[in-house]
Amino acid sequence: MGDVAEMMVRPLVAVVDDDDAARVSLARLLDVAEYRSVSFDSGTAFLEWPEVGAVRCVVTDLQMPGVTGLELQKALRMRGIDVPMVFVTGFGTVSSSVQAMRDGAVDFLEKPADPAALLDAVERAVAKGASLMARAELSGEIRRRQALLTAREQQVFEGVVQGLPNKQIAAQLGIALKTVKVHRGRVMLKMEAQSVADLVRFAEALGGS
């Protein structure tokens, strides 16, 4: 039981590097720092791994045979997997580092990376990954609630989060003010909102997902 609980708590970090020595060294460093790690000798091997979505951070080389680090980053994003990445490379360029950071990389370190700097980058990446996961879970829950709304209730929901008064919503939809109030009450109930501010936050979460 203890081992299972520990595995659930310790974040999983993937190391992707075609350099055997670098890969083993990184994995050992992560293990000492109490991270779980999985290692791959190529971007292709990592992409073919069925548990890619369980990873909370990827530490990868930039220049690798086949799929490069930047191509791996792009492939993950195309799959809808928004996992923070830390690049560690001996062949970095200004343009590639800028591109990596622009696409969401947490850090770009030169080999041999300072262990403290690397662990700091991994820590920041894992924290970012946890935040992204929580946001995705919240968005999914809000979408589940939103799916319960009828077409008319959805229209009222949109009007409310835009800050429109009931009278204006009624005029725009061509329905009675009393009907708007009924729909508004149902929207609050189905969306599990305690206030208009809650509805606005929900709408913002949906818009940013």
Domain boundaries, the chain: 2-137, 148-207
Tell how far CA 138 is from the center of its chain.
12
Task: Report the pLDDT value the prediction gives residue 170, as an integer from 0 to 100.
Answer: 93
Does residue 93 carry a pLDDT above 80? Answer: no
Task: Report the pLDDT value the prediction gives residue 45, as an integer from 0 to 100.
Answer: 92
Task: Report the pLDDT value the prediction gives residue 74, as an integer from 0 to 100.
Answer: 87
Does residue 21 carry a pLDDT above 70? Answer: yes
Task: Report the pLDDT value the prediction gives residue 7, as an integer from 0 to 100.
Answer: 44
Does residue 1 carry a pLDDT above 80? Answer: no
What mean pLDDT do residues 163-175 have? Answer: 93
Distances, alpha carbon 10 to alpha carbons 35, 51, 85, in Å: 5, 16, 17
CATH number of 2-137: 3.40.50.2300
Does residue 103 carry a pLDDT above 80? Answer: no
Give residue for tokens 């991994």: 122
- C-beta separation of 58 from 81 below 8 A: no
Assess if CATH 3.40.640.10 describes domain 148-207. Answer: no
